[in-house]
Structure 1
Amino acid sequence: MTGSKNLENWLHEKVGPAYDALKADPARAVTPDQVRYTLAELLAEAEAAGVYPLPPEQREWVDAPAVGRELTPFDPAETLTSAEAISTFLAEAEATADPAYIEHAQAVAARAKAMHGIE
C-alpha cells in the first residue's frame, strides 16, 4: 500500500471520526496544558489508576537521577570537529536545496568553527 493510500485511510478511519466527534461535542477537547505531561506525571497517573504498575527495577530506573545528558538536545556542531567535516556537512545541506535548512546548517557550521577553533 502506498504512503498516500495509508494517509488517506488514516484520515478516513481515524481523523474524520475524531473531528466529527469533537465538532458534535466541543467539551471533549483538551487544552494544551492538559496534554503537556511529563513522563513522571504519566507514570504516576497510570500507576494510581492501576493501569500500569511498574516492576520495582523499572520504578528504580524511572526514579533514578540523571547521570548525563539523556534529555538534552543533540548539537551537531559538537561532532563537526574538522574543516573537512564542516565542508561535507555544508555540501549535504546545499544538496537539499532547502533554503531554511541551508541557513540552519550554516549557523551550525559557524558554531562548530567557533567551538573547535577551526578557521
Structure 2
Amino acid sequence: MHKVEGLKIWRKAMDLTKSIYQLVTELPSDENYGLKSQIKRCSISIPSNISEGAGRNSNKEFKHFLSIANGSAYELQTQLILLWELNLISKEKVQPIIEQCIEIQKMNYSFQKTL
C-alpha cells in the first residue's frame, strides 16, 4: 500500500483539480449542468482514482486505477480544448491547465512502469 499524500502524482492531480475549479467559475451559468459539471467531475476523478488505487491490496490493482485516472486526464484535456474552441474561455487561460494534464499523463505512464 502507498501513502497517497506522499505521491507526487496525486499532489499534482489535486493541484489540477483546484485549477479546474477556479477556471470553471468563468463559464456562463447555462453551462452549470453541461461542460462545467462534466469538467469538474472529470478532474476530481483523477486524484480520486489515484487515491483509491493506492489503497488497494496489490500493484496490479493500483495500475488498474492509475489507468482509469489517465483516461480521465485525457477526457479532461479534450473538454478543455473544447472550452476554447467554443470560445467559452480563452486559449491563454486554458493552455496552462492542458499542460498540467499532459504532465500528469506522462507521470502516470512512468509511475505505472515502476509498479
TM-score, with length taken from structure 1: 0.31
**Relative contact order, CA 8 A, sep 6+: which one is greater?**
2
User: Larger radius of gyration, structure 1 or 2?
Assistant: 1
